[in-house]
Structure 1
Amino acid sequence: MEDRRNDGQRPPATLASIAARVGVSANTVSRALRAPDTVRPELRRKIATAMEDLNYVPNRLAGGLAGTRSDLVGVVVTSLYYSEFATIVDRLQSTLLASNLHVMLANTRYDADEELKLVRSMLSWRPAAIAIIGVDHHPKVNDLLRHSGVPIVEMWDLDGDVIDSAAGLDHGEIGAAQARHLIERGYRNLAFLGSMREIDARAAKRAAGMRRLAERQGLPPVVMKTRAEPGHPDLGEALCLELLADNPAIDGIVCNSDTVAYGVLRGLRKLAKNVPEDVGVIGFGDAEASACLTPTLSSVRPDRDNIGRLSAEIILERLRDKPSRIAPIDWDIVARDSSRRGMPTIGNDM
């Protein structure tokens, strides 16, 4: 796979480099951090601007030694809702623990500004490495991570500019595969439905892949029905009712998560729509409950365990000065009753 990492590393900023930029002593910069009230407001602003420009991160470790690294690996996820990333973090943690590295977990809640605060705070603890969900970040997060001087592994996605290394999925390809799955079963009027939040670029990439495939197949344009709020069955139901009220011809629905799909199935029952004969539904994530519904839910199953394992292995390799790498992760579509138009129901995985 093509190496899409960004080069241009520079040494991390220090108190001395901040002081040189502002034209004061390193002690003055230190005082501005430790006792800001002892430094004139105008000078504090100049120091803060210099810190921002140079991507300076304070050192919280005892003694403040510039070259010191902890045994912590910062892990930044975008959600703990319904434990979407639980398997990834669990395997990452167990693999790192065997090498005496410990996970420090943070949750951005799909908020770009929160992501920036958390990454800056994690870097202040001088972690051994950072693992973070996605390749689409706050611009300042990209700068901080790129110039942090520690190994960075971006997880769950690899379609974009990778900072250092990545272990993830091609979400555009997945969206196309979801659409193809429905089209091959006779569905023609498709919709993408679910949660689409500020930094959830993965859902947007799946929707784009779906739209491109439908266009190539000569089908009507894919109808988008999304909201910028957490994915939940209630959201799925509400969006489903809105979708069918405005677009009664829709007969195939791709959901951005299984959790949203549960609500879609509930909404279709309220509308007396038969699944899969009237409307086919496919989710993403293959949560455990998806095989227990009536009808059972077709879904995309990403290899979460492998993402966690490979991310940890890449971190350990990078700490031994091995080259960075980009690792595509396997996934497959689990076809169940919710998309089996014209086929006998089976009630479990194919």
Structure 2
Amino acid sequence: MTIELSDKVARNVPTLASIAERVGVSVNTVSRALRAPHTVRIELRRQINAAMEELNYVPNRLAGGLSGTRSDIVGVVVTSLYYSEFANIIDTLQSALLEHDLQVMLANTRYNADQELRLVRSILSWRPAAVAIIGVDHPPKVVELLKAADIPIIEMWDTGGEVIDTAVGFDHARVGAAQANHLIGQGYRRLAFVGSVRENDKRAQKRLSGLETAAAAAGLPDIVKHTAQQGGSPELGERLATELLQRHPEIDAIACNSDVVAFGVLRALRKLGRRVPEDIGVIGFGDNEAASCVSPSLTTVRPDRELIGKLTAEAIVARINDAKPYTAPVEWELIVRESTAR
């Protein structure tokens, strides 16, 4: 089935005319301010820019007379491509969208809020048919822009929060609680959390919150946290685990924000002479392809990435065809392996 993209101007989307009316100048003047800013005096340009910000106006990069036309592009905004958790999602999503003659435009924010705003604004300037974006937690201006675009917005990977339009994913706090409850069920009592937790990585923060809540409910001591702002890697996991156990030798289980961090934790424990799982249990997140190959094999949580990609594509097509917004929960699985099998 081919999606027919509407060529009508969405009634809530700001136009050059609305900017001109706000500032009290002609449409031609606003157009010149965008195309040839040096021809418009500085103070007037500032007024026009301020009006565009207030009205969430995004310049249209399509050909001149097609200002109301939607392209066949779907903007896909992810937070990371390094040790990416999202490769399978993107691959499945792209394949499914191609069947409907829709093309993916990919952007990577690197967990940077300013970059997320710039990239979303840039994608919207191409008048996409829809936008799929990782997470439900975004800078306020990004939310304003996405809502003002008046197109389908599909938030992926997370459903634990307020949704702009439609969401496909799972509750990360539940994942954290499951990690804690598994470790507790295996007899571990002094839990720690290790990994890369950047300011804008709300999903990792939610998993940590779920871990803490479950540990508190079981009457355990507070979770010991040792995290860093840099991207996750085995090197980071090794360093953080070594530092953690120097300060807290009593720790008997470590939950990691990702599998690649957990690989480094396992390496650190091996160097420190700490037995896994007898002395310390380790649990990751993501079910990286190497998780079953390392020794000991890694207990982890496996999200169904391919299903998220498939359901996201279905949501995009449904919303373009005027289906109502909805949330599609996706299940995940806790994979028990040697690293916690006491």
TM-score (norm 1): 0.94
Q: Encode CA deviations 1:165-189: one digit per residue, 9 max, x unaligned.
A: 0001100000000000100000000
CA contact 1:10–1:147 (8 Å) conserved in 2: no
Amino acid at match of 2:104: V
* Secondary structure of 2:150's aligned partner: coil
Q: Encode CA deviations 1:131-183: one digit per residue, 9 max, x unaligned.
A: 00000011110000011111000000011110000001100000000000100
Query: Which whole-Å CA distance do the structure 2 matches of 1:64 and 1:184 have between them?
Result: 64
Amino acid at match of 2:160: D
Question: What is the match of residue 337 of structure 2?
Answer: 336
Question: What is the match of residue 178 of structure 1?
Answer: 179
* Cα offset, 1:199, TM superposition: 1.2
Query: Which whole-Å CA distance do the structure 2 matches of 1:145 and 1:64 have between them?
Result: 23
Question: What is the match of residue 272 of structure 1?
Answer: 273
Give the aligned CA root-mean-square deviation in angstroms: 0.9
CA contact 1:299–1:334 (8 Å) conserved in 2: yes
Q: Does 1:286 align with 2:287?
A: yes
CA contact 1:112–1:198 (8 Å) conserved in 2: no
CA contact 1:71–1:127 (8 Å) conserved in 2: yes
* Secondary structure of 1:243's aligned partner: helix
TM-score (norm 2): 0.96
* Cα offset, 1:64, TM superposition: 4.5
Question: What is the match of residue 82 of structure 2?
Answer: 81
The percent identity for this pair of structures is 64
* Secondary structure of 2:290's aligned partner: helix
Q: Encode CA deviations 1:249-305: one digit per residue, 9 max, x unaligned.
A: 100100000000000001111111000000000000001100001100000000000
Residues 1-350 of structure 1 correspond to what in structure 2 (within 5 A)?
11-341=12-342
Query: Which whole-Å CA distance do the structure 2 matches of 1:28 and 1:314 have between them?
Result: 40
Amino acid at match of 2:59: P
Query: Which whole-Å CA distance do the structure 2 matches of 1:187 and 1:10 have between them?
Result: 58
Query: Which whole-Å CA distance do the structure 2 matches of 1:126 and 1:266 have between them?
Result: 48
Query: Which whole-Å CA distance do the structure 1 matches of 2:197 and 2:208 have between them?
Result: 10
What are the ranges of 5 or more consecutive residues in structure 1 without an aligned counterpart? 1-8, 342-350
* Cα offset, 1:198, TM superposition: 2.1
Query: Which whole-Å CA distance do the structure 1 matches of 2:331 and 2:65 have between them?
Result: 42
Q: Encode CA deviations 1:33-67: one digit per residue, 9 max, x unaligned.
A: 00000111111111111101110000101124232
Query: Which whole-Å CA distance do the structure 1 matches of 2:225 and 2:51 have between them?
Result: 44
Amino acid at match of 2:26: S
Number of corresponding residues: 333
